Structure 1
């Protein structure tokens, strides 16, 4: 069931941005934090202390809250336990953690397959691995990139399948594009990765699958065991929490057998450092070097619980500030409501933008499954200039390549940029209408420039 306008009005009361009159439509970059989470930070400060190995009441209290946060995150994703969860600063660092952990496992002649849809954070690390790092060790590992359909923005699954073979160690795929909005069918991608039959050090014969979930997790129900992903990365700053916490889910046996990304501090087993050997801590702390973002992790896990309460995912009780398990059906109901609401807003925006002269929406047509965003260009306008003009009308969009540089270049956009509106659970129909109206007004003040015969705009439209 979609969220109603009264639901949205109630939700917006929990956020400070609404008081300023801002039209927050750049949520694919970062969502807004509700006051309850900021208040939670302050409520934790009387017990401010480091975690693990402390004997004080404050340390034990903070350690308990910190560790239970891992349980909340694992349960939200359908992971077996906290042992499959590692926290980092953001999605980018989580993906880099996988890259560096696998660094010593690649053999000469292996390959990594990724796609032209990827955020730079799920392409550049693999470019660096295959074309900069491993060559310095004399090892040849090929990087292969799957195409996408320029008209719909959908991943070309046939091309992806043609790139995966018996030497494909890893397939890296976006769960939802932050530019074109398309959502690759992950069960099919999983089957393609399986078909390669690569002999992994664990004895499996399949390519591993890494999913960039930065745009997927905030508005979709994700069950990592049902999807059978090997790795999933996402950031909490796109899911109501303040900046600074990213998550890596990985299958437990992979974390057990891989080398850590960072060394020192809490990743070391207590007292197990000698001149000849170092013992690693148990999972998940093996992947928690140094002092982690303790309060950030606690608050981020509570953002998941608060989302349940905000959208009415469980009318029988309140979950925020508790540590009891959130049942799977409650997680699904919560994320389905968020997904349905943001999909409605996206369709409304696309319907409204479709009548703007010279405007070209990128990706699939209205009504097709997509992440809650729409990117577009307008003939005769620089995306940057357009976003600046929208800001003068009080509408916060975003212009640029959105770190989806490969796809912008592949579409022949010049400059490689677009303007983007993106939505989240606190956005209303009025926000969408105001944003669309602002686009109309801005564009109406400058008619589209004539399309030169054989020029760049003609090629883009084709």
Structure 2
């Protein structure tokens, strides 16, 4: 990867910004901004007109679904639904399955989840279903405090013949941990849960918001039932989340939203409603048309940005994206961000009192580093970094369960996170800034205690 060439497509380097809050959102390339402007020239609503503008916009919109499917190696666009973000996509799955849960069923998730993959299941089990007299348990698997690894034995103990659904992160936005999805798939398959169609095994949902931006994800190879990610973490504008689901699940499931376009043409009468074909069954109302189109083009642009000079270009092309092309591009992104993360970890080991959380150096992880420093408030640390021109994030990162489980008080860490356009210089500048801010903020205080992570004195 020619990182300097990649960075030339973005405005933030010329502004002197050290953009290291990429786990929250990525920066938009100039091509996407120009594309959004150009799309307004013949813009119209989709599936709602006979004008040339409406037909052209509809073609672009539908083509975007094809790109999403190709990016994940899904069988076709019929397995894709779009929502506002990963959170809404996971909620859509919850509402899709809501009426299928039987009294005495359970759903299994983990302590390392983003709130978006815990709170919907908590709400379903503790608030929604009890209102209808149905008892469904929400079970939560542990993780190893020292390594950040998911406790697979505990997960397997929690999964039984009444487990309808297993929900796991593909990569933790706090610990950086990448749970072994194939192993978890096998655990779900062995549950013995009898589905409505007679097949056995629990369904598997993966929150891939932090996995897709730096990894090649093949949903058929992983055999996941549901997988969700957000395009705003992959160069695109806000407002587009992608849900993959096996086609038979979407065909049999109830929509999250009801209304226009999700019904068949003329398919509404007083006593009957016929739903539209997939994937439009899950596209009620006017969608985020420009956002969806731009998000799909953003994925194609990722390929162009990280591919060598002279390689075929895909951003302005409607050709299907081959699996091999996506895989090669994402392997480049993954290798680049992995080296940056390891560089940050090596520098972190030289800062006295710094404790990071999650896997050790040399263990696969998402491209982020969340840490605390003895005697320094994480929020003040991030504010100090901002004054140094380094954009970090401090707080619980919506990974509240894990922060509390580690006994952090306050339940907060400071986090740096990296993307395909992050340079080694960015990482060096960020870690030098951490060192300076820590020196200025840390009082002469006794060393803090707590479980998990790495300190400059070794594993704690």
**Is TM (by shorter chain) over 0.5?**
yes
Please give the alpha-carbon distance, in whole angstroms, between the structure 2 residues aligned to 1:117 and 1:42.
40
Alignment partner, residue 455 of structure 2? none
What value does the CA root-mean-square deviation take over the aligned residues? Answer: 1.1
Q: Does the residue aligned with 1:143 lie in a helix, a strand or coil?
A: strand
**Deviation per residue, 1:23-47 (Å, 9 max, x gap):** 0000000000101011001111111
C-alpha deviation, 1:315, in angstroms: 4.4
Please give the alpha-carbon distance, in whole angstroms, between the structure 1 residues aligned to 2:235 and 2:318.
18
Does residue 354 in structure 1 map to residue 349 in structure 2?
A: yes
Alignment partner, residue 387 of structure 2? 392
Alignment partner, residue 377 of structure 1? 372
Alignment partner, residue 92 of structure 2? 97
| Pick aligned residue for 2:275 from 270, 276, 280 | 280
Does residue 128 in structure 1 map to residue 123 in structure 2?
A: yes
Give the 3 Å change call, closer, same or farther, for CA 407–263 of structure 1 in structure 2.
same
| Pick aligned residue for 1:142 from 137, 140, 143 | 137
**Deviation per residue, 1:169-212 (Å, 9 max, x gap):** 00000000000000000000000001101111232201000000
Q: Verify the 8 A CA contact 2:406 2:450 in the aligned structure 1.
A: no
Does residue 41 in structure 1 map to residue 32 in structure 2?
A: no
Please give the alpha-carbon distance, in whole angstroms, between the structure 1 residues aligned to 2:116 and 2:419.
22
Alignment partner, residue 421 of structure 2? 426
Please give the alpha-carbon distance, in whole angstroms, between the structure 2 residues aligned to 1:209 and 1:289.
25
C-alpha deviation, 1:341, in angstroms: 0.2
Please give the alpha-carbon distance, in whole angstroms, between the structure 1 residues aligned to 2:213 and 2:11.
20
Q: Verify the 8 A CA contact 1:267 1:288 in the aligned structure 2.
A: yes
Which residues of 2 match residues 29-68 of structure 1 at below 5 A? Answer: 29-68=24-63
Q: Verify the 8 A CA contact 2:146 2:451 in the aligned structure 1.
A: no
Q: Verify the 8 A CA contact 1:65 1:298 in the aligned structure 2.
A: yes
TM-score (norm 1): 0.97
**Deviation per residue, 1:329-352 (Å, 9 max, x gap):** 110000000000000000000100
Please give the alpha-carbon distance, in whole angstroms, between the structure 2 residues aligned to 1:218 and 1:314.
22
Q: Verify the 8 A CA contact 1:379 1:449 in the aligned structure 2.
A: no
Q: Verify the 8 A CA contact 2:145 2:451 in the aligned structure 1.
A: no
Give the 3 Å change call, closer, same or farther, for CA 79–430 of structure 1 in structure 2.
same
C-alpha deviation, 1:135, in angstroms: 0.3
Q: Does the residue aligned with 1:183 lie in a helix, a strand or coil?
A: coil
Alignment partner, residue 165 of structure 1? 160
C-alpha deviation, 1:313, in angstroms: 6.5
**Deviation per residue, 1:416-438 (Å, 9 max, x gap):** 00000000000101000000000
Please give the alpha-carbon distance, in whole angstroms, between the structure 1 residues aligned to 2:316 and 2:83.
22
Q: Verify the 8 A CA contact 1:358 1:379 in the aligned structure 2.
A: yes
Q: Verify the 8 A CA contact 1:358 1:448 in the aligned structure 2.
A: no
Aligned length in residues? 453
Does residue 437 in structure 1 map to residue 432 in structure 2?
A: yes
C-alpha deviation, 1:310, in angstroms: 0.2
Does residue 306 in structure 1 map to residue 301 in structure 2?
A: yes
Does residue 458 in structure 1 map to residue 435 in structure 2?
A: no
Q: Which runs of 5+ in 2 are unaligned?
A: 453-459
C-alpha deviation, 1:317, in angstroms: 1.3
Q: Verify the 8 A CA contact 2:408 2:450 in the aligned structure 1.
A: no
Does residue 318 in structure 1 map to residue 313 in structure 2?
A: yes
Does residue 219 in structure 1 map to residue 193 in structure 2?
A: no
Please give the alpha-carbon distance, in whole angstroms, between the structure 1 residues aligned to 2:72 and 2:450.
43
| Pick aligned residue for 1:267 from 246, 258, 262 | 262
